[in-house]
Amino acid sequence: MAGHDHSAHGHHGHGDQEGTAGWMTAATVLQDAAPFTVPEGASAMTILVEWEPGDPGTPPHRHSGPAFGYVVEGAVRFELEGEPERVVEAGGTFWEPGGDAIHYQDGNALSDARTRFVVTMMCAPGKPMLELVDEKELAERAHLRAPRPTA
């Protein structure tokens, strides 16, 4: 029965470490985002956004740096320039590279419940958290927007 005798290589002196391995299983990777560019000298800001039922969210806008979101509750209708809109439900993530890309939608996809999400964004120094895109530029860049659902 060789191999069943543990006395020769017991775990003496390591007992104090066995209970601390939880960190290895405690973290779940929700998204791994690339590529993006962080503006030089950027600061990081984390915000909590809470939309009432049916709120369309922020008008079309852009961020100076990348932004990473996690939906805490409800569902976000997310649309980035060049990508079809999608609904990100609670526990899901979204991100955008920042810079030139227009963020078209970040509203509440639910008409009967609130939606809450957390976003961490890298902001260029001296720039606002987000800048709205005017109608003229929206028209000029319309061809870059993904086809709209016809339903």
pLDDT digit string (tens) for 80-97? Answer: 999 999 999 999 999 999
For a pLDDT cut of 70, what percent of the chain falls above it?
85
60: closest CA among 143, 108, 131?
131
The distance from CA 90 to its chain's CA centroid, rounded to whole angstroms, is: 12
- Specify the DSSP class assigned to residue 81: T
Q: What is the pLDDT of residue 16?
A: 55
- Nearest-angstrom CA–CA distance, 15 and 136: 67
CATH number of 41-133: 2.60.120.10
106: closest CA among 81, 84, 128, 79?
79
Q: What is the pLDDT of residue 23?
A: 87
Instruction: Classify residue 134 as exposed, middle or buried by CB count within 10 Å of its CB (0-12, 13-18, 19+).
Output: exposed
Q: pTM score, two decimals? A: 0.81
pLDDT digit string (tens) for 35-70? Answer: 998 999 999 999 999 999 999 999 999 999 999 999
